[in-house]
Chains A and B, each alone.
Chain A
Amino acid sequence: MRCLRMLVRILVLLYLAGAPALAQTLCQPNASNGYRVRISIKTALGNQAYEWNENEMFLFRATMAFAMRRYYKTETYNVDNIIVCNQTRRVSFWFVVISPENPTMLIPKADVEKAVSMSRHRINNAFLLTDRTLEFLGIYPTLAEPVNPDTPPWLIVFGVVIGAVFAGIIALLVSSLLQKRRKEKGMMEDGQDEEDRQMKGVENGINLDGIYNRGFTDDDRFTKL
């Protein structure tokens, strides 16, 4: 009996010691079900960049667990289910997701991709980063839907300008029409006065109407003495 209990204790100890080792073998660079993550904090935040340390890594694993929970709509995923390895100074690392029911089974790549895409915005915001500075190599961000307004904005500006131009044309027509009518009325009413003025004009030697005859002015300019 005592032998059996010791055996069980040894097995448990071995299991506890070996589990992380087992987990580590599951996570490897270029693993078939793993993804590489690249983070560029200084590019994104400049002077306000934070240091990447173990706590940030913990946040990453928690966020990934949150993404898996959201995708599968369960509450079984935990920080331990996200395994990270091969961290570099660049701040890039590989991660894999193990199933909570079976620690030796990895969640397939496609499901991880769908989970990440679904919660990408939340993951980015947890780290104050963007799609470009928090890269999941292999998962392409879906671009924003282009905003298609009902009337293209240029047409609106065009409408305003051509409306102004037509207003100008109408103003021109109306003013020339009014001028013509005023002239006709003027000519009918004081036609007599016009004739008198014309006579006077000729007498003074200056032609008010018609062509200004330059032949009789500025003779001095051409005078050579």
Chain B
Amino acid sequence: KVVHRHRTATDSTRPGNWLDSEWDNPMQFVLACVSYAVGLGNVWRFPYLCQMHGGGGFLIPYMLMLVLLGVPLFYMELAIGQKMRLGSIGAWRAISPYLGGVGMASVVTSMYLCLYYNVINAWSFWYLFHSFQSVLPWAECPVNSNLTGPVEECERATPTQYFFYRETLDISGSIEENGGIHMGQALCLLLAWIIVYLFIVKGVKSTGKVVYFTATFPYLVLIIYLIRGVTLHGAINGVKYMFTPKMEQLAKPTTWINAATQIFFSLGLGFGSLIAFASYNQYNNNFEKQAIVVSMVNSSTSIFASIVTFSIYGFKATFNYESCLERVRLLLLNTFDLAEDTISLENVNHWIAELNRTHPEQFASLGGRLETCDLEAELDTAVEGTGLAFIVYSEAIKNMPVSQLWSVLYFIMLLLLGMGSMLGNVIAVITPLSDLKFISVLSYLVGLVCLFCLLLGLGFTTRSGNYWFTMFNDYGATFSLLFIVLIEVITVCYIYGIKRFEKDVEDMLGHRLNWYWKIMLAGVSPILLIALFIFYIVNYIQGGTPTYQAWNKELGKSVVTEYPPYAQAFIGLLLASSVCCIPLTALYTYCKKRNLASGKRERTVSTVSA
């Protein structure tokens, strides 16, 4: 029996000028997915979660969620893209005309991401360029105007914080205080967008070659950093701290929820990038194996990066602890006029007890100047996000020997990770737009999108720009993505039908859907997504007024501040603008179909009567 596969309309290669737009080989596709999924979140979010939720024990919910949620949804998105061979808008419209809005919501969310994500790359460029100096600028406080001492703001905070908040961002006191554009930041943002443009201008032909580098080089840097990290003095403290499992954390529901959200966002589901990447595949590409490979690579990179991060943490904590001990030692020597070699770093604590016993009045006069040095407390300072990447890491780097080299390597790695993810984001916007055929020449479309994002992104380089950045980061893509992917899964499994999906996959791969995929996609993943969704809403309502961390220059630290009403309205707008694409498009299609149907009926009536 010979089965002929018949070609349907959706089988055609890309319309318009996109002939010849396919990945040169499947390896480019895999590397593009790896480059997209392995991003800054693997470096700065996963280690934080690991530390907050019980170290080694966190791996259990993480791996479980990967198997239950991550891999099936990744598989589904690749299948859709490869089958429909269109970007997210076209693909979802082809699956179900009423739910073409899902694609539109993906594009809107990707657009928000494009706007603010490249600002991180701008910061990486800024730090990279400043690493080419004999003394790293964040290693020491600058001197004040009358040369008597360091600048007060730097004195109250630390030099690395001062460099980030004052010299890099020139941050204002709150989101209401606007200011001018920081010229250095604007230049770096311009550079970042020009580079993104160059990488995408020829479509997947250029992107396919770039991802060889952006996907592999960060691993080289991570390995170098691993070797450097574990040989640092005190690194073992950090690694031990991370891997000691605290199993009682597994009893808390937040642990499981954070594991699920981390898997979800780390794989980049729902943005339309995976659909876009897969749409350039050959029809019979074996995406099943590739989905598993990319998900595994992404998760192992997270674990690998957290080993590096924790050895750096351990080094930094040990360094601070030993500096604290040195300061206490000097204080004791100076107050009690003892010879220099009586107190060493090891017996500081012994001497504190001894001196308290023998000279109680003099000891009491020390008062608040005597610090307590605690290694655990230093290790406990868990930081995530831009604070980890730009403040904690640079603080650790400045204490390493040959710090300029390590600084350059580190920021190049951050750049590659960020650029790799940026490629996916911009392609997720460009692919559906080019399918809609607004502008026929690809390079003009890419140029227009990049220019648009650059001009709007300049708003993030103003003095209050970092606060808007945090707002976009926290609200622009979190809730809407959950909703989008939930609708996606329900659409594919119940509206399009799991049977039809099964047939399409069999068509492409040649074998039937495994029971694992069927159970996960139709049952487990939707349930988990609904649970996550409900949790998010409950958390948002319970959280009260949304707040942010404002930098106070008098105190030299961040204070929790409430968003003003117009900012809260903007948050609502961010959330609503992507989510309501779905019902609005459904309504629009329904009205159009009804008008068409009633129009046809009228015409048939008229011909009959005529």
Contacts and interface: CB of A to CB of B under 8 A. Distances in A.
Interface of A: 38, 40-43, 88-92, 140, 142-146, 153-158, 161-162, 165, 168-169, 172, 210-211, 213-215, 218-219, 221-225
Interface string B133-171: 100000000110001110000000000000000000000
A91 to B, nearest CB: 7
Given A153-B129, A222-B3, 12 more contacts: A90-B334, A91-B339, A91-B340, A143-B143, A158-B188, A165-B191, A169-B194, A210-B19, A211-B13, A213-B7, A224-B1, A225-B1
**Which 6 residue pairs are nearest across A and B when measured between Cβ atoms?**
A154-B129, A88-B337, A90-B337, A89-B339, A42-B340, A157-B129
Contacts of A142: 147-148
Nearest to B195: A165
A143 B148 CA distance: 6
Contacts, number: 94
Nearest to B329: A43
A223 B198 contact: no
B184 A140 contact: no
Main secondary structure of the interface of B (DSSP, over half): loop
A165 B147 contact: no
Contacts of B338: 89-90
A168 B6 CA distance: 45
Contact of B5 (A89, A144, A215): A215
A12 B420 CA distance: 92
A213 B4 CA distance: 13
A211 B15 CA distance: 11
Interface in B177-199: 184, 187-188, 191, 194-195, 198
B129 A143 contact: no
B3 A140 contact: no
B213 interface: no
Nearest to B137: A154
A215 B198 CA distance: 36
Contacts of B341: 42
Contacts of A215: 4-7
Interface of B: 1-7, 12-13, 19, 125-126, 128-130, 132-133, 142-143, 147-149, 184, 187-188, 191, 194-195, 198, 201, 283-284, 333-334, 337-341, 510
Contact of A221 (B126, B143, B510): B510
Nearest to B197: A169
Contact of B3 (A38, A42, A165, A224): A224
Nearest to A212: B13
Name the residue among A42, A155, A161 with the largest chain B CB count within 10 angstroms.
Answer: A161
A158 B129 contact: yes
A146 B146 CA distance: 11
8 contacts: A153-B129, A157-B128, A157-B129, A162-B194, A215-B7, A219-B4, A221-B284, A224-B1
Contacts of A40: 340
Contacts of A156: 132
Contacts of A157: 128-129, 132
Nearest to A43: B340
A218 to B, nearest CB: 7
Nearest to A220: B2
Nearest to B132: A157
Contacts of A213: 7
B184 A154 contact: yes
Contacts of B2: 219, 222-223
Given A215-B5, A219-B4, A222-B510, A92 B147 contact: no
Contacts of B133: 153-154
Contacts of A92: 334, 337
Nearest to B149: A143
A86 to B, nearest CB: 10
Contact of A90 (B126, B147, B339): B339
A136 to B, nearest CB: 14
